[in-house]
Amino acid sequence: MIQQRLAMVIEFNGAKFHGWQRQDNAFTVQEAMEDAMLKLEGKDSAPSFAAAGRTDTGVHATHMLIHADVKQAMWAKSPHAYIKGLNYHLRGAGVLVHGIKAVSDEFHARFDCFERRYQYKIWNRSVSSALYGQQAWWVFQLLDVDKMNQAAAILVGKHDFTTFRAAGCQANAPERNLKVLEVKQEGHFFTIDVAADAFLYHMVRNIVGSLVAVGIGRWQPEYMQELLDGKNRCVAAQTAPAHGLYFTDAIYPDFSAQDISGLVG
C-alpha cells in the first residue's frame, strides 16, 4: 500500500481530554484522532500520529501540528473530501482538523519543529466569568501589566529554567531559549504570548504563576532574576491552571501551523 505523509493542523478543547498522548486509562486527543482515522481509512490501515508538542490535561490548542501516514489513493482522490470525512468522524469529540498539507516522508512534526508558541489567557476582574470559566484563569486581584512585562523581560533569552521546571520533567537539561514572553491587556483579558525552541514540563504555567505574583504586587519585577539564579522550584509561585493555556503555533523551516490553517492540498 502506497502511503502519503500529511501534516495536519488541529484545534481542540482541552477540557475534554487528558492531554495529547494516548493513555491506557484516559481519553486523549491522540486517541480521538486515531479512532477517527481508523474509521476513515479502514481496519487494514491504522495510522499513528506524532505531534509538535505534548499538551497536558486541560490544555487547549488553536494550531497544533501533527503528522500521519495515510492511504495515498484515498487522499489524492479528493483532499477536500478527505478532511470533511475526517472531521465527520471527529464530530462531538472536541477536536477538529482545519488544515492539511502533503509533506515528504522525512518530515516529522516533533523533531523538525524548531519553535513552539503558546498563549496564556487570564480573566482579571473582581467577579468571575460565566463565559470564560474554562477558557481563562480567573485572577480577582488587580494586575499591573507594566510590572509583569518588566519581570517577563528578565526571563527572555537562554537560561537555566530549573526554577520553573516541574517535578517529573524528563528533559535531559534545564536550559531553554525563551524567545518571546510578553503580556498584553485588553479590557479584563490578559494574554501572555510565549515562544521557545522547546519547553520544560509545566514551564509556561510555572512562569505565568510567578508573573501573576508580580502583577498583584506580591513580588517586585527584579525578583524574577533571583528566582532564575536560585534554581529552586520551591521558591517560585504556584503553577497556573491548565485551562488558561493554548498551543498556538509550531514553526518549521518551510511553513508554520498557522500558515497551513485553511489549506487543503
Q: When comparing pLDDT for 179 and 23, which is higher?
A: 179
In a domain, 43, yes or no: yes
My answer on whether 146 and 227 are in the same domain is: yes
In a domain, 54, yes or no: yes
Task: Report the C-alpha gap between 227 and 232 in whole angstroms.
Answer: 7
My answer on whether 244 and 127 are in the same domain is: yes
What nine digits make up the cell of 36? Answer: 477517527
Find, among 197, 239, 256, the residue nearest to 58 by Cα: 239
User: Band of the pLDDT at 208, cuts 50, 70, 90?
Assistant: very high
My answer on whether 136 and 223 are in the same domain is: yes
My answer on whether 20 and 78 are in the same domain is: yes
pLDDT of residue 224: 96
My answer on whether 127 and 218 are in the same domain is: yes
Q: Say how many residues make up the chain.
A: 265
For residue 204, give Cα distances in angstroms to 77, 95, 128.
42, 23, 23
What nine digits make up the cell of 199? Answer: 519547553
Q: Of the given ranges (3-17, 19-33, 144-158), which has the lowest mean pLDDT?
A: 19-33
Listed residues 68, 88, 112: the one ending a domain: 112
pLDDT per residue as tens digits for the range 24-44: 889 999 999 999 999 998 876
pLDDT of residue 19: 92
pLDDT of residue 247: 98
What does the DSSP assignment read for 109-170? TTTT--EEEEEEEEEESSS--SSSTTTSEEE-SPP-HHHHHHHHHHH-EEEE-GGG--TT--
User: Band of the pLDDT at 167, cuts 50, 70, 90?
Assistant: confident
Mind telling me the catalytic residues? 56
My answer on whether 46 and 121 are in the same domain is: no
Dihedral sign for Cα atoms in the order 81, 86, 91, 96: negative
Task: Report the C-alpha gap between 181 and 54 in whole angstroms.
Answer: 20
My answer on whether 197 and 136 are in the same domain is: yes
My answer on whether 103 and 22 are in the same domain is: yes
Find, among 233, 237, 235, 250, the residue nearest to 168 by Cα: 233
Q: Which domain holds residue 180?
A: 115-249
Q: What is the CATH number of the domain that holds 88?
A: 3.30.70.580
In a domain, 262, yes or no: no
pLDDT of residue 1: 77
Q: What's the DSSP call for residue 28?
A: -
What nine digits make up the cell of 229? Answer: 539564579
Q: How many domains does the chain have?
A: 2
